[in-house]
Amino acid sequence: MVNLSTRFFGLELGSPVIAASCSMTGNYDQIKKIARAGAGAIVLKSIFEEEIFLQLQEELKDRSALISDPEYLDYFDYVIREENLNKQINLIRQVKADTDVPVVASINCISSSEWTSFAMKLQEAGADAIELNLFIIPSDVSKSNDANEQFYFETIRKVLDAVTIPVTVKISHYFSNLAALIKRLSMTGVAGITLFNRFYAPDIDIESQRLISAGILSAENEYLLPLRWTGIMAPKTGCPLASTTGIHSAETAVKFLLAGASAVQVASVLYREGPDAIAGINQGIASWMERKGYRSIDEFKGLLSIQQKNAAVYERIHFMNWTGETDF
């Protein structure tokens, strides 16, 4: 009998397959199904401060006469913020009461004060850990690289000072020196880093000549970028790594574990196949382990990381040697 347990979020997990933050993990009935399918942890749908702000703007459209009243605006903003936060608090309490799966609260804010405020309240509600969904696209040419990176470190420091439960971060790959940044982030005291955030991207409809949304769900071949960086960074970080994007099968999950990930986060496959996809991935990992003679994930985790395998496979030099058949 193989053991699928692993450690991420500063927690012992019964499976390396984590339900990532998405609309399904904001629905109690779906969460129950995900828990029954054997998820190692469930990251609840993120609280987005921007969504709260947009809701405020929509509500104020019908109250245009009161927009000029600063006291009213402050009060209304507070009410909407509390309503959204209370929904998340109630969901955490309900899930914690009815399941044994670790519950991770996810936060995405744009103002410095809300990160700590939300984190403290979600900790009080019973969340087992906090995931900071950190993302700034570096499109503002007036901001330096250092200024963008400082946002990440200041946010982490403030949240770590405010809560006692484990805190992890989920980041994108939009950095000029990604390896150095991941290394520095791993030394801040976070309990883990997830590579990489996948965001909706714009596309262009050439007939209507307007911007549209590109595909929302990940494709099965999108795992290659996070796989490379997992293999490069897993041996070099001061905390565990999890990986996400394009993970639709047990085979792909095993690849990440071999590269050094402690866990994988899945979302798109849950929409395509339903919550039972997690049970299928768990079963597939277990079957592969039995075939290879592994009893635990620790026995093979990182066997194909950059530390264990020729660095040229993960870095640029392999392009000069690649023939399509070479066994590195």
* CATH code reported for the domain at 6-303: 3.20.20.70
Asked which of 42-56, 234-248, 280-294 is least confident by mean pLDDT, the reply is 42-56
7 φ, ψ (degrees, to nearest 5): -130, 125
Task: Give the residue-averaged pLDDT of 37-45.
Answer: 98
Quickly count: other Cβ atoms within 10 Å of residue 114's Cβ.
17
For the chain, the structural domain boundaries read: 6-303
The pLDDT score that the predictor gives to residue 199 is: 74
Q: Which amino acid is at 26?
A: G
pLDDT tens string 129-149: 999 998 777 777 877 888 889
How far lies 202's CA from each of 60, 67, 216, in Å? 28, 32, 10
- This prediction has a pTM of 0.88
Query: Which has more pLDDT, 61 or 240?
Result: 240
What distance in Å separates the CA atoms of residue 258 and residue 231, rounded to the nearest whole number?
A: 8
Q: In the structure encoding, which two tokens stand for residue 37, read together?
A: 């399918």
Q: Are 200 and 213 in contact (CB under 8 A)?
A: yes
Q: Are 2 and 25 in contact (CB under 8 A)?
A: no
pLDDT over 90 at 67, yes or no: no
What distance in Å separates the CA atoms of residue 152 and residue 167, rounded to the nearest whole number?
A: 13
Which one, of 148, 205, 198, 141, lies nearest residue 173 by Cα? 198
What is the pLDDT confidence band of residue 316, given thresholds at 50, 70 and 90?
low
What is the pLDDT confidence band of residue 286, given thresholds at 50, 70 and 90?
very high
Asked which of 77-86, 108-117, 158-167, 255-264 is least confident by mean pLDDT, the reply is 77-86
